[in-house]
Structure 1
């Protein structure tokens, strides 16, 4: 489910410098030479890469992420099941002492990690069956995001030297993430925590290790201790919609003066926030606090991030959101047509993929302002026709 932690765009010159593409065997030989140059023993390097092969399933998975074309309501209803909510509460009780340590050491609330744990691997039950080394080498050889994946190979080699990575047996997600909360090898090297005290960092089999490591990574990404991340709100009909969206952050007191209220509890005081309308002014509404932006360092999908953050609030007692009555959205083909029109007008939409991501939403809002439409960043057929 999880997308790579950092989405990057590269020029052809940077791709060439990284040596992606070409004959796969020659590419692996280059990796071996670089590993030796980094100080690894030639025999260990040969053993590490001995069985590596290109995995066509990885490339297919990388190019078919249609699940993220769903809107927020459809996606959140599909992945936040009663079973996941019940199991979340059970795991919160079962690992209460671990979550207490997480809150003390890293300032991360239990619901945040429980939501990631559920969405990434269904609480550890579905961790992926892709050979991790094959996945990383395949994606590094592919020229779409070599600067993200190539360093992960050498991080995996470091883990192998520590005895924490078996190139033949370690399996995980198609994009190379490992364990219950799906972390890339570099993230494990940087943030791995021996949460159960057995002398090893095992994110595949130890919930304490996985939870503590995930919390440490979130803190390193900028998580602010003890602060909220997302809260459902009620917005007045006359709100200036052009002020909504993640690009506008205002003091909570200013939002309150405009008539914005918390739906089930008061707005957090002393913070800045953004009014987030994932399906426009007639759909669900949330206040996104500074910690919400950290989610985008974990995953770049707007709908995934919003769902994960909302799910975390549900696991901590928030009621189901008010779905409202949003205007009909666009089909994937219509969304691609819209993105093409937006791009032609000079907007950066992050790619013609039919996915309503953060960049497309920002471009939509700018065009809504220009055309005199309600600027709530929700693309409709009226906008498409207007362009």
Structure 2
């Protein structure tokens, strides 16, 4: 107990220190970063060259604030991201790099559909990897006080890559949040999980699909991927059941879900613990989410992105298109923000009021539905908003 308290206090003091150093003069912030880099053991000349060209990037901040696509419900979001062309190209890539995927499955236990889906969504199979200057983006986001604890360490990881000759302060580009390469990995992840998949003696995630895919497989393994296990399976649900048992907070053995009337649309249920996932409530698509599904949240925090990426992985391996059902109408962005404010007023932790139906908002919705005697399927409707 004493150790846990000490670690918690240390983490809190570290976050406080980071918050105190963000904001203010950008040039002053950069000087502080340079001093810290030298204190970490990097030579002053190297540090000066690394930071010489750095600039604050307003476009990065604009991109960080404008993520409205995640406000879309699962059916709309998934149909936007999953096209027949993406399916066809994905299956073609699976054939082209069959040997690489076999190596990944043997070494890391990550199924090819999983990585193909990330490859598709992150960069359209490498065709567009982002045109943001990576160093400018990372330092801009570290200076910004919204999430300095996430981006500040990535600046120093980029410095380490620069020291190794694997990063250019002026030429390395990628996504607005600092991710690099075909499957979009942050500098610290590249250091920890970068793999030379094509055997040329280098780790190049921008031009080598083998390097990018092997590195992505290693990272998922590092994040806790369970070798050879499924991640998501579409199911049908009975017309009536205790909907409060749905959601990621409840886990049952698949056999127990079967006794409650949950059936696979294809194949058999795995002999594993699972959660019943209803992205748009009891009248929409339904899935069993196995333990590997939770690893997706280590890659991306957006519920709708995670659900779509996981589903797309199953499609690329031959699963049928999901049954969209007939979900009840949901809430528009302004209504969702109104709902989040009402939930916060009732003491629920919904995170930021952003109009996005994330995991915290879903959990709060489900609790209020249960309290009000509504079907507690975690899908917010105008009826719930009116009752609140």
TM-score by length of 2: 0.96
Asked if the contact 2:18–2:149 (Cα under 8 Å) also holds between the matched residues in 1, the reply is: no
Task: Measure how far apart 1:11 and its partner are.
Answer: 9.2
Who is 2:102 aligned against? Answer: 100
Who is 1:136 aligned against? Answer: 138
1:253-332 aligned at under 5 Å gives the runs 253-269=255-271, 271-332=272-333
Larger RCO of the pair (alpha carbons < 8 Å, separation 6+) = 1
CA shift in 2, pair 1:161/1:323, >3 Å: same
Three-state SS of the structure 2 residue aligned to 1:248 is coil
Three-state SS of the structure 2 residue aligned to 1:275 is strand
Three-state SS of the structure 1 residue aligned to 2:279 is coil
Who is 2:182 aligned against? Answer: 180
Listed one character per residue, the Cα deviations across residues 229-277 of structure 1 (whole Å, up to 9, x for unaligned) are 00000000122101000000001111010010001121112x0000000
Say whether 1:373 aligns with 2:374.
yes
Who is 2:355 aligned against? Answer: 354
1:163, 1:236 → 2: CA distance?
58
Task: Measure how far apart 1:13 and its partner are.
Answer: 6.6
1:223-242 aligned at under 5 Å gives the runs 223-242=225-244
Asked if the contact 2:73–2:304 (Cα under 8 Å) also holds between the matched residues in 1, the reply is: yes
Who is 1:119 aligned against? Answer: 121
Task: Measure how far apart 1:171 and its partner are.
Answer: 0.1
Structure 2: which 5+ runs fail to align? 1-10
2:113, 2:19 → 1: CA distance?
42
Listed one character per residue, the Cα deviations across residues 183-234 of structure 1 (whole Å, up to 9, x for unaligned) are 0000000000000111111000100100000010001110000000000000
2:345, 2:256 → 1: CA distance?
36
TM-score by length of 1: 0.96
Say whether 1:220 aligns with 2:222.
yes
Listed one character per residue, the Cα deviations across residues 264-294 of structure 1 (whole Å, up to 9, x for unaligned) are 121112x000000000000000000000000
2:200, 2:311 → 1: CA distance?
34
Task: Measure how far apart 1:362 and its partner are.
Answer: 0.4
Who is 1:33 aligned against? Answer: 35
Task: Measure how far apart 1:12 and its partner are.
Answer: 11
Asked if the contact 1:222–1:294 (Cα under 8 Å) also holds between the matched residues in 2, the reply is: yes
1:356, 1:73 → 2: CA distance?
13
- Ranges of 4+ aligned residues in structure 1 off by more than 2 Å: 9-13, 15-18
Who is 2:50 aligned against? Answer: 48
2:77, 2:300 → 1: CA distance?
15
CA shift in 2, pair 1:204/1:285, >3 Å: same
Listed one character per residue, the Cα deviations across residues 62-90 of structure 1 (whole Å, up to 9, x for unaligned) are 00100000000000000101111000001
1:200, 1:159 → 2: CA distance?
12
Task: Measure how far apart 1:17 and its partner are.
Answer: 5.3
Asked if the contact 2:233–2:287 (Cα under 8 Å) also holds between the matched residues in 1, the reply is: yes
Aligned residues: 378
2:20, 2:74 → 1: CA distance?
37
Three-state SS of the structure 1 residue aligned to 2:90 is helix
Who is 2:251 aligned against? Answer: 249
Who is 1:23 aligned against? Answer: 25
Say whether 1:87 aligns with 2:89.
yes
Structure 1: which 5+ runs fail to align? 1-8
Asked if the contact 2:233–2:289 (Cα under 8 Å) also holds between the matched residues in 1, the reply is: yes
Who is 1:164 aligned against? Answer: 166
Three-state SS of the structure 2 residue aligned to 1:213 is helix
Asked if the contact 1:10–1:145 (Cα under 8 Å) also holds between the matched residues in 2, the reply is: no
Three-state SS of the structure 2 residue aligned to 1:329 is coil
1:356, 1:325 → 2: CA distance?
19
RMSD of equivalent CA atoms: 1.3
